[in-house]
Amino acid sequence: MPTFTPMGDQAVLVRFEREADALQFAASVRSSSIPGIVDVVPAYFAVAVFYDLNSVRYATLVLQLQALPIGAGSEVAAESRLRVIPCCYELGPDLERIASHTGLTQPEVIRLHSETIYTVYAIGFSPGFPYLGYLHEKLCGVPRLPSPRLRVEPGSVGLTGRQTGIYPLERPGGWNLLGRTPLTMVDVADGYFPLRAGDRVQFVPIDRAEFERRKGQRLE
């Protein structure tokens, strides 16, 4: 059974033992008719349910959330869209470092990274940054850079530990960069955030010419 605890005075934090159950529960909450809920934010093993204090109280909301079917008893499928993202691995400044650390060739690193279908387990660090899991076991364990870069180009695709991710905006960063997508992954002013927790992501290798041709396009 999940655990329910307050998160501040306007949210319930629900923790699960399995990430899949957290994503499915978030979908169940979104599809429910429980009044007063203003947002649902899943991240890995937890789901934060934000609510309006003028519409519902914590204790009442917890009882309603506990009544929702969870896991195998739920008929609501976890929200999942497959998002195919082009990636130019020629623009990966740390590709050689990753290959050296894993004992793989650079083409093997690219193949394993692009053949895997990832799940967006959380959005954070900067607006729209997706934490994608999990890497093929042969790509796991590459540590962060000894010193983070002061500037990472928007669209840069990086990895560290068991995860990969995309820097949607220019930011400092210490992940190993193995490629770059030409797509615009976030437009804060326009409210454009194409990835959400629960989505699946697969990278498709492209060359530099296609990168330049598709630069600035949005995710379809």
Burial of 199 per CB tally in 10 Å (0-12, 13-18, 19+): buried
Name the token pair of 181.
């997508």
d(Cα 195, Cα 114) in Å, to the nearest integer? Answer: 18
Cα dist. 92→17, 84, 144, 159, 208 in Å? 35, 19, 15, 11, 11
User: Does 82-214 carry CATH code 3.40.50.300?
Assistant: no
What are the residue boundaries of the structural domains of the chain, listed by start? Answer: 3-73, 82-214
- Please tell me the predicted confidence (pLDDT) of residue 1: 84
Place 77 in a pLDDT band, splitting at 50, 70 and 90: low
Question: Under a CB-based contact definition with an 8 Å cutoff, are residues 61 and 51 in contact?
Answer: yes
CA-closest candidate to residue 109, choices 138, 131, 84? 138
d(Cα 185, Cα 129) in Å, to the nearest integer? Answer: 9
* Mean pLDDT over the full length of the chain: 95
How distant is the alpha carbon of residue 75 from its chain centre? 24
Looking at residue 9, what DSSP letter applies? T
Collect contacts of 149-156 with beta carbons under 8 A, ≥24 apart: 149/173, 149/174, 152/177, 153/180, 154/184, 154/185, 155/180, 155/181, 155/182, 155/183, 155/184, 155/185, 156/180
pTM: predicted TM-score of the whole model, two decimal places: 0.91
d(Cα 166, Cα 131) in Å, to the nearest integer? Answer: 8
Question: Under a CB-based contact definition with an 8 Å cutoff, are residues 102 and 53 in contact?
Answer: no
Q: What is the CA radius of gyration of the chain?
A: 19
Which one of 3.30.1360.40, 3.40.50.620, 3.90.550.10, 2.60.15.10 gives the CATH number of domain 3-73? 3.30.1360.40
The pLDDT tens digits for 115-164 are 999 999 999 999 999 999 999 999 999 999 999 999 999 999 999 999 99
